[in-house]
Amino acid sequence: MDKEQFQSLVYQFYRDNRRTFAWRDQITPYHVVVSEIMLQQTQTYRVAEKFDTFVRALPDFQTLAQAPWPLVLGLWKGLGYNRRARYLQEVARLVVADHAGVLPRNPATLEQMPGIGPATARSIATFAYNQPEIFIETNIRAVFIHHFFAQRTDVDDREIIPLVTQTLDRGNPREWYYALMDYGVMLKKQFKNPARRSAHHQKQSRFEGSFRQLRGKILQLLLAHARLPAYELYDMVNYRPDEVDRALAELCSQQLIQRTEDAYHL
């Protein structure tokens, strides 16, 4: 399959089956940053449920940068991986303080910001400014493995990147990546997820009873009670004290919570 055939196939599917999301319909650099950080390790339907509420309450970088942390965490509730909420607010503060409120276009600059790795930096630049950057995410990976590595397992992203580069619609990269991702979602439903044949595929660890769940419980309790002594937290989360100690120390070090004397608060 040559480049034109491949692009035609993907775009035809997209024209007939385009998904609608608020961050696609009302594109601003701020909306792109919020959605891209929300979408890290979180299903799209969950992000769709939270995105509108978040950007209505905090409509721009300036507002998010100045918002109280409990408000940000409360709006983030339900998305998991709460450290991303802190990263998102830190990004907003950097954009306001160092870039006069304007999101940088350069992926290398974006990559230096908290919680933004190489792929996210390039996806943000593409979706915010329609720049022809090269990146891979799980749905894009599924498309290329399905069409170009049908008989392979352990496909490395280094093998996929040249194909992403060759087939990129440089005239409209934003829409092309939307099309690729929507097509990839369909492929993952109709076939045994092609992305599982990636060398980078990792099965998500169990959440129930996990250390990640413990961290989330502590944050939700402090969101509800504002301030709690350590001994009350031990009783309320029902985990081993040594695990609670480790979670509290980690949350403090990441500046998600604070300790004052023997009590914790956001």
From the number of C-beta atoms within 10 Å of its C-beta (0-12, 13-18, 19+), residue 79 rates as buried
Q: What is the pLDDT of residue 33?
A: 98
CATH for 1-204 (1.10.275.10, 3.10.105.10, 1.10.340.30, 1.10.10.60): 1.10.340.30
Contacts of 9 (CB under 8 A, 6+ apart): 1
Tokens of 23: 């961050």
Note if 36 is an active site residue: yes
Per-residue confidence at 74, pLDDT binned at 50, 70, 90? very high
5-19, 65-79, 95-109, 213-227: segment of lowest average pLDDT: 213-227
Question: Which of 4, 36, 208, 250 is labelled catalytic?
Answer: 36
The DSSP 8-state label assigned to residue 8 in this structure reads H
Tell me whether domains 1-204 and 211-265 share a fold.
Answer: no
Q: Provide, for the chain, the percentages of residues in helix, strand and coil under a 3-state DSSP scheme, each rounded to the nearest 5.
A: 65, 5, 30
Domain boundaries, the chain: 1-204, 211-265
Average pLDDT of the residues in 159-163: 93
Cβ burial 182-191 (10 Å sphere, 16+ → b, else e): bbbbebbeee
- Fold of domain 211-265: Arc Repressor Mutant, subunit A (1.10.10)
Spatial contact of 32 and 23, defined as CB atoms under 8 Å apart? yes
Q: Is this prediction's pTM over 0.85?
A: no
Per-residue confidence at 201, pLDDT binned at 50, 70, 90? low
